[in-house]
Amino acid sequence: MPRNPLLSEEVAKEHFNHLAHTEPNEGNSPDWKPPHRVRFSKKTSAQAEEMKPDVIIVGSGLGSLTTGSLLAQRGWKVLILEQHDQAGGCLHTFEEKGYEFDVGLHYIGGMVGSRWSSLRKMYDAVTGGRVEWCKLDDPYDSAVCTGEYEDPADSIHFYGDYGRTERELKAKLTPEEAKQVSSFFGSLNFTVVRMAGWLVAKCMPIWLRRTVGRVIELPSAGVLNVTTADYMKNTLNITSSKVHGILTYLFGDYGLMPSVSSWAVHAVVFNHWRGGGFYPYGGSSALAMGACEVIRQNGGLILVNSRVKRIVVENGKAVGVQMEKDGKVFRAKRIVSDVGARNTFLRLLEPEDIVKVDKSFISELKQDEQGDLDNKAGMAPSCALLNLFIGLDAPAEALGVPATNAWVVPGWDHEKNLEKFWADDAAELPVAFIGSNSAKDFSYEKRFGKNRGSIMVLAPVEYKWFKKWEANRVHARGDDYDTLKAHWEEKLLKKLFQVYPKVKGHITYKDLGTPLSNNYYLGVNHGEVYGLTHSLDRCWKHRDVLSVHTDIPGLYLTGQDLMTAGVSAALMAGVMTVGAISKPVLASHIHNLI
Given this model, what pLDDT does residue 150 score? 76
Please list, in sequence order, all residues whose beta carbon lies within 8 angstroms of the beta carbon of residue 582, skipping any fewer than 6 positions away: 71, 74, 76
Predicted structure pTM score: 0.92
Kind of pairing between the strands at 507-513 and 384-392: antiparallel
> Of the candidates 532, 578, 544, which has an alpha carbon nearest to the alpha carbon of residue 213?
544
Given this model, what pLDDT does residue 375 score? 52
d(CA 129, CA 1): 25
Given this model, what pLDDT does residue 44 score? 64
Please, are residues 144 and 408 in contact by the beta-carbon 8 Å criterion?
yes
Per-residue pLDDT of the chain (594 residues; tens, 9 = 90+): 344 444 433 434 444 443 333 232 333 333 334 444 454 444 567 788 889 999 999 999 999 999 999 999 999 999 999 999 889 999 989 999 999 999 999 999 999 999 999 999 999 999 999 999 999 999 999 999 998 877 777 799 999 999 999 999 999 999 999 999 999 999 999 999 999 999 999 999 999 999 999 999 999 999 999 999 999 999 999 999 999 999 999 999 999 999 999 999 999 999 999 999 999 999 999 999 999 999 999 999 999 999 999 999 999 999 999 999 989 999 999 999 999 999 999 999 999 999 999 999 999 888 776 443 345 567 888 999 999 999 999 999 999 999 999 999 999 999 999 999 999 989 999 999 999 999 999 999 999 999 999 999 999 999 999 999 998 887 778 899 999 999 999 999 999 999 999 999 999 999 999 999 999 888 888 999 999 999 999 999 999 999 999 999 999 999 989 999 999 999 999 999 999 999 999 999 988 887
Please list, in sequence order, all residues whose beta carbon lies within 8 angstroms of the beta carbon of residue 348, skipping any fewer than 6 positions away: 58, 308, 309, 310, 311, 321, 337, 339
d(CA 346, CA 517): 21
d(CA 553, CA 173): 55
d(CA 588, CA 580): 14
How is 489-528 classified by DSSP, letter by letter? Answer: HHHHHHHHHHH-GGGTT-EEEEEEE-HHHHHHHH--SS-B
Task: Compute CA distances 351 → 346, 347, 354, 557, 569, whole Å.
Answer: 8, 9, 6, 18, 30
Given this model, what pLDDT does residue 33 score? 42
Q: In what order do the strands lie in the sheet with 55-58?
A: 301-303, 78-81, 55-58, 334-337, 555-557
Given this model, what pLDDT does residue 46 score? 79
Domains belonging to the chain, first-starting first, are 38-132+281-357+545-593 (3.50.50.60), 135-160+383-529 (3.90.660), 163-272 (no CATH)
d(CA 11, CA 282): 12
SS3 of 328-374: CEEECCEEEECCCHHHHHHCCCCHHHHCCCCHHHHHHHHHHHHCCCC
Please, are residues 108 and 567 in contact by the beta-carbon 8 Å criterion?
yes
Q: Residue 10: enclosing H or E segment and its boundaries?
A: helix 9-17
Single-letter code of the amino acid located at 206: I
Q: Residue 421: enclosing H or E segment and its boundaries?
A: helix 414-423
SS3 172: coil
Please, are residues 169 and 246 in contact by the beta-carbon 8 Å criterion?
yes
> Of the candidates 100, 124, 78, which has an alpha carbon nearest to the alpha carbon of residue 34?
100
